[in-house]
Amino acid sequence: MTPQTLGLYIHIPFCASKCSYCDFYSCAGKETKMQEYQDALLAHIEESIPQMQQYFIDTVYIGGGTPSYYGAEFLCEIIQTIKSTGRLLRDAEITVEMNPDSMMLGDLRMLLKEGVTRISMGVQSANNDLLKLIGRRHTYAQAFKAYTTARQAGFKNISVDLMYGLPNQTKEDWADTLSKIIRWKPDHISCYGLKLEEGTPMYEVYHDTPVIPDDDTQADMYTYASELLERFGYKRYEISNFSHRGFESQHNLRYWKMEDYMGFGPGAHSCVDNLRYSYVRDLQQYINGVTKGGTIVDEYEKISGLEVANEYLMLRMRTAEGISGEEYSKQFRADFGPLEEKLKFFETKGWTQLENGRWSFTTPGFLVSNILINELLDVQAAQNAIGVPYLQEILDQREREELPLSDEELFLQAMRGF
Ligand code: SF4
């Protein structure tokens, strides 16, 4: 039997300072803890080697936090430890997240030599005022310089992260950011809408204020980005991710395809053989747990059949590849008919499309994907509730969000208003 493949996620919980929108687990001002963390992290990877033996590792993602701030020497040690498992494939995708203010030529060369194949850079905006407002430590010019340095070091696969829906950001400003970044010719671009997360400084200041672009403006920004990027050869392969052909993030595709991955570090998640677990979001507790034998597992659950089917819908419908009836019936031994009926109804609204036997969202569909996916989950749950009265009762009582109007309906409504 061919061994399965596995992805590794390594969390580096250090940043030079905290951006005001960020709720990832990372600490600023904890540099003195880096060596202690590194020792614990390497020990944790080493003690997990037996669990990796049934796999080949084909993707490694070192994220954070700010791995580039952690430094190339530590990162190379991590990669060497992963190599020592004997399971890392020679052509594995190895990504390192970086911020423009900590991308030095020497470090980049060292990482390339160690086998890093891909860089994911946090750029966010080309507008210096916005960058400052959201607490980024770099200007647009510094980001461009860092990008050219990475190319000079020899990186052939660079991704750039951008954000839209920032405070007072206009559509023109977003268009300007996109056109500037497209001129760089990165291989991959991610566009994330700002989400105000409770507990972040930005939430305190901007929650429920008109300073944040409203839903319609954000929808326009997303649609504009999708169309512009497609025009420049960036294919949308997931709701927020666009790439030139062959430059899709293999590691992230693993999450959306529900393939196994193992995470290391505080707050890191793993999913192996339908067993899902995460580690504590606390640097010191993680270090103590690994080095002194305490508990580091925070949450732990075996995913049941229905949950796997739910995740299939939730994750796969985020991708351009979407879902297929054949795959669904084979994997879950369930009738795809009721779901297909709903997908066909969505098609009449312009939200879904059927191509080569696979259903996926169109751009208007992606814009309301949360609501549509909930509808699909309800259909699936209703199927499972047949013959289980208490489940049926729960479903009947559940509050439902109303379906939005399709573009055509909105147009007709506007015409009637004239
Ligand atoms: S650099 Fe990244 S991880 Fe660090 S605070 Fe900013 S957004 Fe969060």
Q: CA torsion sign, 216 to 217 to 218 to 223?
A: positive
Question: Using CA positions, which residue lies closest to atom 3 of ligand 1?
Answer: 65
> Which of 11, 17, 18 has most ligand 1 atoms within 8 Å of its beta carbon, as the pocket-test mutant?
18
Q: In order of start, what are the domains of the chain with their CATH numbers?
A: 4-256 (3.20.20.70), 329-410 (no CATH)
Q: In Å, how far are 71, 92, 98, 312, 411 from 121, measured between CA atoms? A: 15, 19, 5, 29, 39
300-328 tens-digit pLDDT: 999 887 888 899 999 999 999 999 999 99
Distance CA(253)–CA(315), nearest Å, equals 10
| One-letter-per-residue 3-state SS of the chain | CCCEEEEEEEEECEECCCCCCCCCCCEECCHHHHHHHHHHHHHHHHHCHHHHCCEEEEEEEEEECCHHHHCHHHHHHHHHHHHCCCCEEEEEEEEEEECHHHCCHHHHHHHHHHCCCEEEEEEECCCHHHHHHCCCCCCHHHHHHHHHHHHHHCCCCEEEEEEECCCCCCHHHHHHHHHHHHHHCCCEEEEEECCCCCCCHHHHHHCCCCCCCCHHHHHHHHHHHHHHHHHCCCEEEECCEEECCCCCCHHHHHHHCCCCEEEECCCCEEEECCEEEEECCCHHHHHHHHHHCCCCEEEEEECCHHHHHHHHHHHHCCECCCEEHHHHHHHHCCCCHHHHHHHHHHHHCCCEEEECCEEEECHHHHHCHHHHHHHHHHHHHHHHHCCCHHHHHHHHHCCCCCCCCCHHHHHHHHHHHC
* CA of 46 relative to ligand 1 center, distance in Å: 27
Question: What is the predicted pLDDT for the residue at 180?
Answer: 98
Note the pLDDT of residue 97: 98
- Residue-wise pLDDT for 336-369, tens only, equals 999 999 999 999 999 999 999 999 999 999 999 9
Distance CA 41, CA 234 (A): 36
174 phi, psi to nearest 5 deg: -65, -40
**Cβ of 137 below 6 Å from ligand 1:** no
pTM of the predicted model as reported, rounded to 2 decimal places: 0.92
Residue 395 has pLDDT above 80, yes or no: no
Say if ligand 1 is within 6 A of residue 99 CB: yes
Q: Which amino acid is at 392?
A: Q
**Is residue 360 classed exposed, middle or buried when 0-12, 13-18 and 19+ CB atoms within 10 A define those classes?**
buried
The predicted-structure confidence for 189-202, as pLDDT tens digits, reads as follows 999 999 999 999 99
pLDDT at 251 exceeding the cut of 60: yes
203 lines ligand 1 (CB under 6 A): no
Judged against a pLDDT cut of 80, whether residue 402 lies above it is answered with: no
Res 166 pLDDT > 90: yes
Residue 108 has pLDDT above 90, yes or no: yes
Predicted confidence band of residue 230 (pLDDT cuts 50, 70, 90): very high
What token pair was written down for 281?
A: 């979001």
CB distance 22 to ligand 1 below 6 Å: yes
